[in-house]
């Protein structure tokens, strides 16, 4: 099964350099492609493994907007989800459903052309996620659906940057 859409994430935590320590918070938008494979399924639920891959570019600015730079970021998570109801399987015709799951994610961020241009960081760690799915068996939707989800990743690297996010996906 495949989905695509958009993600809004927030990275936050404390970054330590050789000379100082500062709080870091950044909002990031990205495009997402999410392939998943159901490996245990019945007519109303499934267990799946998936990879909600995301990449984005944009402008990063500090809190007083006196400094800005370009950023590029990508997110490479692997997740194990329990899916129920709508879009839990390709044959499920329920109009409402949901999912919850766990996983592990790797997030890479590079900022250039700013005071923070030396920040070329990565964060990784365990994550939890959940959301709802809406689908319709009517001809207007052609059996497709919409997923609205939330996720949180706890960074376990040196900086321990955490990531929280929201996504909206179109399910094929």
CA distance 150 to 39: 23
* Average pLDDT score over residue span 37-44: 92
Burial label, 108 (beta-carbon count in 10 A; 0-12, 13-18, 19+): middle
Radius of gyration of the chain (CA): 18
pLDDT for the residue numbered 114: 60
Is 138 a residue whose pLDDT tops 70? no
| pLDDT band (50, 70, 90) for residue 154 | very high
pLDDT for the residue numbered 139: 62
* Average pLDDT score over residue span 126-140: 85
pLDDT for the residue numbered 151: 97
Domains of the chain, each with CATH number or no CATH: 2-171 (2.40.160)
| pLDDT band (50, 70, 90) for residue 164 | very high
CA distance 147 to 133: 4
Is 51 a residue whose pLDDT tops 60? yes
What rounded mean pLDDT belongs to the chain? 86
Longest Cα pair distance anywhere in the chain, in angstroms?
61
CA distance 125 to 105: 6
pLDDT tens across 77-125, in order? Answer: 999 999 999 999 988 888 999 999 999 999 998 877 665 555 567 889 9
What are the angstrom distances between the C-alpha of 170 and each of 5, 73, 105, 107? 6, 22, 22, 23
Predicted structure pTM score:
0.87
Which letter does DSSP use for residue 91 in this model?
A: T
């Amino acid at each position: 099964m495949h989905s695509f859409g958009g993600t809004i994430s927030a990275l936050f935590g404390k970054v330590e350099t050789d000379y100082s320590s500062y709080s870091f918070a950044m909002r990031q938008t990205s495009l997402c492609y999410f392939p998943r494979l159901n490996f245990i399924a019945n007519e109303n639920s499934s267990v799946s493994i998936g990879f909600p891959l995301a990449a984005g570019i944009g402008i990063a600015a500090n809190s007083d907007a006196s400094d800005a730079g370009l950023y590029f970021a990508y997110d490479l998570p692997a997740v194990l989800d329990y899916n129920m109801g709508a879009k839990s399987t390709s044959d499920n015709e329920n109009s409402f459903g949901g999912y919850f799951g766990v996983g592990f994610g790797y997030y890479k961020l590079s900022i250039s052309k700013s005071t923070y241009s030396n920040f070329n960081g990565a964060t990784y760690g365990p994550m939890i996620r959940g959301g709802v799915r809406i689908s319709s068996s009517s001809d207007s939707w052609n059996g497709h659906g919409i997923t609205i989800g939330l996720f949180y990743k706890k960074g376990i690297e040196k900086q321990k940057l955490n990531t929280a996010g929201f996504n909206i996906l179109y399910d094929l």
